[in-house]
Structure 1
Amino acid sequence: MARGFGAKRKRAPAKEGEGLVEEVEGDVLGIDIDSEVVKNEVAKEFQESKPYRHCVLKELCNEKVLRKVRDEIITNLRATFKETDIYKVLQTGDLANLDGLDKNSLGQLPHLKRLRDTIYSKEFRTFVESVAGLGSGELIDKTDCSCNIYPQGGHLLCHDDVIGTRKVSYIIYLTDPDSPWKSEDGGALALYDCIVDPKGKARKLPLPDYHPIKRLLPTWNTMVMFAVQPGKSFHDIEEVIVTDKPRLSISGWFHGEKPPEGSENATLNQILVNSKSSEWKGDSPCAAFDKVDPFVKLPSEVHADGWLSESEVEGLALYINPQYLVKSSVERIADKFVDDSHIQLYKFLNDALVDQLSKQIHDKDEEEGMFEGVIPPYESGVGGAWKMRGPTHKQRYLEMTCDAGGDLFSNLKECFGSPAFQKLLSYMTKVTLTSSRSCVRRFRPGLDYTLAHSGVETAGYQLDATLCMVEESEQWGLGEVGGYDCYMVNDIEAKGPNNASAEVYNEAADEDDETVTLPATNNCLNLVLSCEGVMRFTKYISATAPGSRWDIMNEFEITPDDDSDEDE
């Protein structure tokens, strides 16, 4: 979907043959990049900054010129809305393509073109090489940048920027010069340190901490630069909270001849590491941070034979809506599930239990300020049975890690682990359950998410049965506040991470690919049959969401029916 940014503003079109209709006055830069004093000061900041090498150039540009750049972008460029697992943003095309515009179109962007040419000039690249401690000529003549507009709700989740031959990342902020950006507006560039191994051992796969240690506001006429370091330069862009001043910037990269050393530890490679790999288990330093609970074999395979006994129905009725315990209703559900491979079962729990659960989650969210429309403290809700789950470049949410005596979610998890419930699932899906695992999760607004990664660890099939609980609100169904589950076919693993582009990694599936989106719905059980090659994620929960998303995620390894068509 294409949008004209600042569509209300009018400007007379250039006449045929006018070309550059507006004279570009004054120097573009406001700093002296030839000054040894400037270079030494910036280089010192760059080399000594924590958590990794970066610097902030203040008053980068001539004020008058930069205001005209901003005006040209708002008036004459079109931006496309993009939303995936990792970001929500309005973005223009690559500004390298300015050279291909006709004279009339280019005539509307003289200051923007001159700024782009200045940033990618040999002189400025030499300045960046000096500041970043790179060798002379190490940065190649390649233009790679675009304009990004983060409106309210816009965000970019944790990653390290390592794709291809990127060496140095930069952002030039073009936020409203007459309305200074404030911390409470959100939209900060947040820098993450890496988890330190308690034993002092070097990690094979560096992992970002749960929360950033530094926030840089998108201040007008500043430029942030940082070294692109695999498994090190972790950062995100916090959600923009303010409604009336979009976060406008030009961002891009300076490239080298070849990928940086250690690119095997880049975000993309780590996302694709199979959880069965020895990198993530046993005595690995990563295990404590990203432990994946193994599937537990069921005492005996659960088949959809016969029907539930009277005692089994009575036991399940303490939790489940009676309409889902009627054989004829379950048969209709099974028929639809076999056709679609997914289904949402609304009003799944009985009314009495839902009333209690709704009060529990509302009181907890209210106590921790989750209805205030701001990004809450990162430690909100942590304590007791609830622990943070990472790593942040793959996921962040709270998980109930032990039995919280008397907690309704603990009781419900126990019900879902019972043979009677597993038998009910087998009837509803017509599959045989062989092993299972389960966890209780909480996704807090303004903080939590999972990114797209393979939902099936081994060749075969998997049944996901996820019960969702949220505050009753139409906002969830619209998808604007996130919180939905998305399943999509992706061929990154087939291509291999070294052949994957930024678009393949970040973008949702193509139109020809199968994609299933299940909105966060209160008291709803989502059943999805998944297989190897299908990726899934839970979309980042906006700070403006009406509370947290709470769920119980049950996963089952299964055996398909003998007469099923494997290819189908």
Structure 2
Amino acid sequence: MSSSEQLFAINPAFNDSTFIDCFKDWYSKHATEPFIKDGCCLLKLPFSCASFENFLQPDLSIVSQPYKSAEDLVNKVESEARLLPFEPRCNDMFTFKQSVDIVNLLKDEQHVEYKSSILVKLRSFLLSDVLPWLEKLTGAPLERDRIDFTSSIYGTHDVLLCHDDELDNRRIAFIWYLVPKDWDASVEGGCLELFSCQPEEQIHVPPIGEKPTTPVNPWKITASIPPRRNMFAFFEPSSYSFHQVSETLGSRDRLSLHGWFHGPPLPRPSERCHPTSVPLVSPIHVEEELVYRWINPFYLDMRQQTKIRRRFLKSSEIQLVNFLKLEEWGRACNALSSVTEPVWSTCGPFNRKHFDVLSEMSKYATQTDAVPEPLRELYRLFRSEAMLVILSDLTGIRLHPSALASDTKVEDIKPPATKHARLEPDGDCVPNAHSTSSHTVSDPEMAALNDPQFRRWRTGYYTLLADSDVVDTAWRLECVLHLGGYGQPNAQNTTESSLGDRVTNWQQSWGGQLVYIARDEKSELLSVLPVDNSLTLVYTGPGTASFVKYINHAARPCPLKDCSDGPENCLSAFDLSVVYHEPLSEGRSDDESNAADNTESSGDEDIVDSELEAENDDL
């Protein structure tokens, strides 16, 4: 008789042969209704996921059983779990603390007592009793002696975002919850949320073992399982099993023990397509007056451009404060607050991104009834050849053949006789009404760009990294104009934090930072905290990618400039995102970078720092 048998037993209500037969029959059916019986709930949509309340019980058939109730047994497991060494884990997808795998306690020669701990016995019980029980319920063949088993603690604002758990030969994912008995998920969060990958008009039970013939992406949360003490939940990872742990909102933490049983791998879909990639478009020609009306003259001054360029060439990144003239910035903020809800669309899928966007801005560029004029003007400005020249002069990246010429003026920039756009395989060129040409292949000496996007950010919004992001081989200038909701260090408009304090700028603890990482690097390369009316420029290349950190429920966006302080204006932050792709004929060589570094002086860098700070003070 094993030591695990002396402590644990599956709740008899779930280990009865009649229950097992009923569950197995329902599990294998294509029925869409849930199976509910004796504290068990088997959801069939959006994919099969089962939960069992009061799951673990003490084995009272053993005379020497030290725990006479399930409550005593669960309390003992929790007390030992909280003594485990936990390490903080944080990346684009999650923030929480996690322990080592429990199997490592068996190998710890310095702590012999671990080998007889209740957690080690629980691991043995999972292999000896729970594994064969799961095989009976699901029919899934499982490896008899292999299990991943660890513990996680989700503190305030911790979260695990949308993913599918498909990796190697994971066959069953399981979670055993150790939250307080009075945990209220409506207030404290921490739910297991399940995503649907199917259109509402085509709902069916996803086949676990079949390879999808169409792209599978998560678009909507359709089920939510609140954690309960001593509740066991499981599902089979598959092409459809997208799920997340919702943000923990209260002051109490969410403790669980969880892991995977292993078996023969299931068929996997081919590389998932990215259904909402931003198309490449051609730059357009704009009138001179538009440039001078919108952009702060500080950034059009050649002397200042030289100083900024020298600093940028050394660091490959910069944040230019007060980039727009204050009056025009106010017009833009007012316009953003007036955009009606139907014009905004949700950008996904959830395993890649979640925010709102003014989609198809090129279509709205000539429609005065949909998007206000200031936003159409900004869109045209950041898509223009004039902006390519200005950004070239600010960064030293040659995005336009007329850039970096001492006698070049904005009004001298003329559109070439023909303009073309390099296209991604799934991209479309969307010519603007102000463009002089509708060709689809770009001038090799001129940068192509992703269609500029106005984005709206709210609590729960984020972007995630994908493998394809990091292996991108293109050199590019990523440009984000932070328009409103973030505040400014010395601004007069304030908003209340979750603690009731008055703040004037975006807090790092809220998330929302623009983060850059490199392939195979654990630490961040760069983290940019947004500031209202600032332009963030980052030159990045192969093996580097960026994401926007999850915005948690503590976030309190600042009121937009020149807008009312109504509740709707305090819910969101806004930016304009553009990526300029360096022309194929260009590329900054090491020799060019070194030459630029050798010509600059520390004095110039100090001067540009102080002058940028002065720009921020002149609000």
Which residue of the partner structure matches residue 59 of structure 1? Answer: 54
**1:255 paired to 2:262:** yes
Answer whether contact 2:218 2:351 (CA < 8 A) is retained.
no
**1:227 paired to 2:231:** no
* Cα distance in 1 between the residues matched to 2:591 and 2:159: 40
Letter in 1 for 2:549: K
Q: Which residue of 276, 281, 298 corresponds with 2:283? A: 298
In the TM superposition, residue 33 of structure 1 has moved relative to its aligned partner by: 5.9
Answer whether contact 2:464 2:547 (CA < 8 A) is retained.
yes
Letter in 1 for 2:321: Y
Letter in 1 for 2:99: T
Query: What is the SS of the residue equivalent to 1:192?
Result: strand
Q: 1:356 to 1:71 in 2, by over 3 A?
A: farther
Q: 1:562 to 1:28 in 2, by over 3 A?
A: closer
Which residue of the partner structure matches residue 405 of structure 1? Answer: 371
Q: 1:353 to 1:450 in 2, by over 3 A?
A: farther
Letter in 2 for 1:471: Y
In the TM superposition, residue 452 of structure 1 has moved relative to its aligned partner by: 4.5
- Provide structure 1 residue ranges, at least 5 long, that are not aligned to the other structure: 1-21, 271-278, 281-289, 301-308, 365-380, 492-508
In the TM superposition, residue 194 of structure 1 has moved relative to its aligned partner by: 1.1
Q: Deviations over 1:188-239 (max 9, x none)?
A: 100111123989999645333432100000111101100111x210111111
Letter in 2 for 1:35: D
Which residue of the partner structure matches residue 194 of structure 2? Answer: 191
Q: 1:458 to 1:59 in 2, by over 3 A?
A: closer
Q: 1:167 to 1:97 in 2, by over 3 A?
A: same
Answer whether contact 1:467 1:552 (CA < 8 A) is retained.
yes
Q: Which residue of 548, 556, 577 corresponds with 1:553? A: 577
* Cα distance in 2 between the residues matched to 1:524 and 1:468: 5
Q: Which residue of 168, 172, 176 corresponds with 1:168? A: 172
Answer whether contact 2:127 2:144 (CA < 8 A) is retained.
no
Answer whether contact 1:192 1:208 (CA < 8 A) is retained.
no
Answer whether contact 1:28 1:114 (CA < 8 A) is retained.
no
Matches within 5 A, 1:524-543: 524-543=534-553
Which residue of the partner structure matches residue 70 of structure 1? Answer: 78
Letter in 1 for 2:178: L
Letter in 1 for 2:463: Y
Q: Which residue of 300, 310, 320 corresponds with 1:335? A: 310
Identify which range, 399-408 or 328-337, moves more after superposition.
399-408
Answer whether contact 1:461 1:558 (CA < 8 A) is retained.
yes
Q: Which residue of 22, 26, 39 corresponds with 2:20? A: 39
* Cα distance in 2 between the residues matched to 1:115 and 1:29: 12
In the TM superposition, residue 431 of structure 1 has moved relative to its aligned partner by: 1.8
In the TM superposition, residue 85 of structure 1 has moved relative to its aligned partner by: 0.5
Answer whether contact 1:476 1:521 (CA < 8 A) is retained.
yes
Letter in 2 for 1:321: N
Which residue of the partner structure matches residue 472 of structure 1? Answer: 487
Matches within 5 A, 1:466-545: 466-469=480-483, 470-472=485-487, 478-490=507-519, 509-511=521-523, 515-545=525-555
Identify which range, 337-346 or 168-177, moves more after superposition.
337-346
* Cα distance in 1 between the residues matched to 2:574 and 2:187: 26
In the TM superposition, residue 457 of structure 1 has moved relative to its aligned partner by: 8.2
Q: Deviations over 1:305-361 (max 9, x none)?
A: xxxx9x84x533422223222211111111111111111112222222334445566
Q: 1:39 to 1:86 in 2, by over 3 A?
A: same
Q: Deviations over 1:52-99 (max 9, x none)?
A: 11211110113221111111222x212111110100111111112121
Letter in 2 for 1:556: Y
Answer whether contact 1:415 1:421 (CA < 8 A) is retained.
yes
Q: Deviations over 1:471-516 (max 9, x none)?
A: 327697653221111222215xxxxxxxxxxxxxxxxx335xx712
* Cα distance in 2 between the residues matched to 1:175 and 1:200: 33
Query: What is the SS of the residue equivalent to 2:283?
Result: strand
* Cα distance in 2 between the residues matched to 1:241 and 1:204: 39
Which residue of the partner structure matches residue 394 of structure 2? Answer: 428
Q: 1:44 to 1:248 in 2, by over 3 A?
A: farther
Answer whether contact 2:5 2:125 (CA < 8 A) is retained.
no
Which residue of the partner structure matches residue 395 of structure 1? Answer: 353
In the TM superposition, residue 540 of structure 1 has moved relative to its aligned partner by: 1.3
* Cα distance in 1 between the residues matched to 2:393 and 2:200: 46
Letter in 1 for 2:233: V
Query: What is the SS of the residue equivalent to 2:509?
Result: coil
Which residue of the partner structure matches residue 17 of structure 1? Answer: none
TM-score normalised over the length of structure 1: 0.75
Percent identity (aligned)? 24
* Cα distance in 1 between the residues matched to 2:185 and 2:177: 14
What is the aligned residue count? 472
Matches within 5 A, 1:244-393: 244-256=251-263, 258-262=264-268, 264-265=269-270, 269-270=271-272, 290-298=275-283, 312=288, 315-358=290-333, 383-393=341-351
Q: 1:37 to 1:199 in 2, by over 3 A?
A: closer
**1:125 paired to 2:131:** yes
* Cα distance in 2 between the residues matched to 1:423 and 1:567: 19
Query: What is the SS of the residue equivalent to 1:120?
Result: helix
Letter in 2 for 1:421: M
* Cα distance in 1 between the residues matched to 2:284 and 2:373: 26
**1:79 paired to 2:86:** yes
Q: 1:159 to 1:407 in 2, by over 3 A?
A: farther
Q: 1:455 to 1:110 in 2, by over 3 A?
A: closer
Identify which range, 199-208 or 402-411, moves more after superposition.
199-208
Query: What is the SS of the residue equivalent to 1:527?
Result: strand
* Cα distance in 2 between the residues matched to 1:221 and 1:42: 20
* Cα distance in 1 between the residues matched to 2:481 and 2:224: 35
**1:151 paired to 2:155:** yes
Letter in 2 for 1:296: V
* Cα distance in 1 between the residues matched to 2:89 and 2:470: 27
Query: What is the SS of the residue equivalent to 2:228?
Result: coil
Which residue of the partner structure matches residue 380 of structure 2? Answer: 414
Q: Deviations over 1:147-169 (max 9, x none)?
A: 11111111111111001110000
Answer whether contact 1:162 1:228 (CA < 8 A) is retained.
yes
Letter in 2 for 1:225: F
* Cα distance in 2 between the residues matched to 1:382 and 1:150: 37
Q: Deviations over 1:429-486 (max 9, x none)?
A: 1222221121111122124433345458864311111111333276976532211112
Q: Deviations over 1:511-535 (max 9, x none)?
A: 5xx7122122222211111212222
Answer whether contact 2:196 2:218 (CA < 8 A) is retained.
yes
In the TM superposition, residue 299 of structure 1 has moved relative to its aligned partner by: 6.2
**1:213 paired to 2:222:** yes
Q: Deviations over 1:226-270 (max 9, x none)?
A: 0111x210111111111x2111111100001x42222x45xxx43
* Cα distance in 2 between the residues matched to 1:426 and 1:197: 47
Answer whether contact 1:317 1:350 (CA < 8 A) is retained.
no
* Cα distance in 2 between the residues matched to 1:567 and 1:315: 33
**1:94 paired to 2:101:** yes
In the TM superposition, residue 36 of structure 1 has moved relative to its aligned partner by: 0.7
* Cα distance in 1 between the residues matched to 2:290 and 2:581: 25
Q: Which residue of 136, 140, 143 corresponds with 1:139? A: 143
Which residue of the partner structure matches residue 50 of structure 1? Answer: 45
Letter in 2 for 1:166: R
* Cα distance in 2 between the residues matched to 1:106 and 1:543: 41
